[in-house]
Amino acid sequence: MATTIILGSSRSNGNTNTIVQALVQKSGASRIDLLDYNIGRYDYTNQNKDDDFIPLIADIIDGSKTILFATPVYWYSMSGIMKDFVDRLTDCVTIRKDLGRRMQRMRMGLLSCGSEEALLPSFEDPFRETAGYLEMEWIGHVHTWLEEDKLPRSVDKQLTSLAITLNTITT
């Protein structure tokens, strides 16, 4: 599993998952649904250190070269469940620095799904900056949407191109 797609949506079978499934078929990437895990919010006293975050991120790091975050666009930003997961990456530079150091050899990208083609350019900033902070290689952002519950031709082409990129850089 060279690429792991982390689905962070309030609906496991929503539009973002439709996009993720199309990319999985094209790329052979694996998919993790954050709704399947108990991941608490970040807190400065590490009260959540025994939840599912550390084992999950350790498994992702062990089995992947690329992490692709997949989130719907909620109120011009990432989903709440994705925000909690991204915030918990702090654990990888505080209580589990070994994991943070191992992430430095990885790549990170973003797949967003909105209700339309337009998206604020600042949407990717938290992800791109997180990749930089963790010293991961940023591979970019692909924004997608559905039309009448189907992939528009332009989105399908973007996913095909992303799949080629994922397979090229992770082999």
CA angle 160, 118, 26 (to 5 degrees): 15
Asked if residue 4 has pLDDT above 80, the reply is yes
Tokens of residue 56, six digits: 């999950």
> What residue ranges do the domains of the chain occupy?
3-169
Q: What is the pTM of this model?
A: 0.95
User: Is the domain 3-169 a CATH 3.40.50.360 member?
Assistant: yes
Residue 61 token pair: 């790091």
**pLDDT tens per residue, range 30-89:** 999 999 999 999 999 999 989 999 999 999 999 999 999 999 999 999 999 999 999 999
Please report the sign of the dihedral spanned by the C-alpha atoms of residue 79, residue 149, residue 152, residue 5: positive
